[in-house]
Amino acid sequence: MKALRFEQGELKLAHDIAVPRRAGEALVRMTLAGICNTDLEIVRGYAGFCGTLGHEFVGIVEESPDRSQIGTRVVGEINAGCGACSLCKSGDPRHCPQRTVLGIANRDGAFAEYLSLPHRNLLEVPGKIPDRAAVFVEPLAAACQILGQVEITPTHRVIALGDGKLGQLIARVLATTGCQLTLVGKHPDKLKLAAVAGIETALVQTGVAGGADVVVEATGSPAGMKLALDLVRPGGTIVLKSTFWEKAEIDTSRVVVNEISLIGSRCGRFAKAIELLSRGAGDLSALITQEFPLSMGIEAFRRASSPGVLKVLLLP
């Protein structure tokens, strides 16, 4: 099969990769996949991954130990645990010490014609959700994870930093709480997309009032942490979402003196995201910049890394 792989520091399209069949797992034929900032950062050196990239996908189950899944349209949670540790036995392998992560850590990913995942990781996509919305389930679940970590109510003032792919989804999820929300970014055209969705926005270049109860940092830049510290109130909370290969400096004295809570936030469970999409929680098509066939995957990565671009999709 064809697969878009990162090997020996180079992104390349391979044409003769074996179809990935793992014992006891499901085989999923890809129908659509999305390039995210983590994929771009891996190519820059983040995570030290080598193999087939990609973790945002929609596909059709072709083989599975659970035969009822065969022929089903699915998305898949990206963390595959050992199945034996206490975390896995509790039903949550996201922090299993032995986990593999689709397209990120020791497991080939979704930028291919097929992928393999444990059948328990797969969730059926309701018929009312089109592929071009379902492909956002993974990053939307990551946005929903924030609400499982931090209590946000209508009385809270919240700032979401970053008007890119993830920041746009985070703003839409935070807006469901009724909080006093502002999405802060550098790109007027991207902020306009959020404004159309009813979200208050602000250009960072024009200055943003601080004193927020919660700041969610999703800029994808090391500079985002300093800005978050500038905008959060004493005793407030910063939620960190960015992943990048560079090192970010943190002024720990400000964290200590102002008693700021720092919360790392990563993968969320998919059920909540699917529920939001089933309820018609916003039209996400405006967040799609372009689609490419898998055979043009290298060009797709160039496009995805261009200024002003949001979601780029691959059609295997």
Contact 233, 100 (CB under 8 A): no
- CATH assignment of 140-264, given 3.30.360.10, 3.40.50.920, 2.60.40.10, 3.40.50.720? 3.40.50.720
Q: What is the DSSP letter of 245?
A: S
Q: 17 by DSSP, 3-state: which?
A: coil
Determine the average pLDDT of the residues in 87-101: 95
For tokens 């771009």, what's the residue? 40
Residue 136 clears pLDDT 80, i.e. is over it: yes
Q: What is the pLDDT of residues 224-267, one digit of tens each?
A: 999 999 999 999 999 999 998 888 889 999 999 999 999 999 99
Q: Reading across the β-sheet that carries 10-14, which strands appear in turn?
A: 10-14, 3-7, 51-52
Q: What is the pLDDT of residues 137-157, one digit of tens each?
A: 999 999 999 999 999 999 999
Specify the pLDDT at position 185: 97
Domain extent listing, the chain: 3-136+284-315, 140-264
Determine the average pLDDT of the residues in 29-53: 96
Fold of 3-136+284-315: Quinone Oxidoreductase; Chain A, domain 1 (3.90.180)
Specify the pLDDT at position 14: 97
CA distance between the termini of the chain:
10
Phi-psi region of 54 (alpha: psi -120 to 50; beta: other; left: phi over 0): left
Average pLDDT, the chain: 96
Confidence band for 309, pLDDT divided at 50, 70 and 90: very high
Pairing assessment for the beta strands 73-76 and 56-63 based on DSSP bridges: antiparallel
Determine the average pLDDT of the residues in 181-198: 96
Q: 68 by DSSP, 3-state: which?
A: helix
